[in-house]
Amino acid sequence: HGSTANFLNLHRVQSGRLEVHLLPTAIRSLVLDTLLILRPMAEAKQLRVSLQIDFPPEQRVCVRADPECLALILSNLISNAIKYTPNGGAITIRVSRELAGSALACCSVEDTGIGITPQERERILSGSYRTEEGREAAGGFGIGLMLIEELLAKHGSRLELESEVGKGSRFHFCLPLWEAA
């Protein structure tokens, strides 16, 4: 049902019906909630999942984001990492400041998965294209990244992708910290 939900959400975004309400959104708890939901999927593949939050534990890190949209973005990126990482691989989710003293919090999802060629990267970020290996590794519409791009655009952000075939991929995006507003 996840793909159907994505498809409906994508349609809502593109038809302008998905309102984005920017609120102070606690990114730490959102990431933890997402990991809790996706843990069984990762455990089934014996993946090592680690979370690095480069903010002091007592600091409540709030970003300017729509909590529902951000939850959707995170669950898409993390579930993709799980799907495309072979059994026994590793996934690292990191929340950090873009630069010391900057007003941006960045979130990255890195995996030791199948990786993406530069040619495929262009096509993946442009729409519903999926790599051959990706189609074999996971079902679905392949519109997750297109949806993420649309949602991040509504937040004034964009998805960055670094990847090496056979070594894995790293997706990341930045959002403004709320206190800087």
Average pLDDT over residues 127-139: 51
Confidence of residue 156 (pLDDT cuts 50, 70, 90): very high
Q: Which range among 6-10, 94-98, 121-125 has the greatest average pLDDT?
A: 94-98
Total-model pTM: 0.83
Give CA separation, 57 vs 1, 49, 60, in Å.
35, 19, 8
User: Is the CB of residue 6 less than 8 Å from the CB of residue 143?
Assistant: yes
CA distances from 21 to 100, 101, 160 (A): 28, 26, 23
Rounded mean pLDDT of 138-148? 64
Amino acid at 106: C
Could you tell me which residues come within 8 angstroms of residue 73 by beta carbon, excluding any fewer than 6 positions away? Answer: 148, 151, 152, 173
């890190």: which residue's tokens? 61
N-terminal to C-terminal alpha carbon distance within the chain: 37
For 28-78, write each residue's pLDDT tens digit. 999 999 999 999 999 999 999 999 999 998 888 999 999 989 999 999 999
Q: SS3 for 28-84, per residue? A: HHHHHHHHHHHHHHHHHCCCEEEEEECCCCCCCCEEEECHHHHHHHHHHHHHHHHHH
Could you tell me which of 135, 168, 167, 169 has the C-alpha nearest to residue 159? 169
What pLDDT sits at residue 33?
95
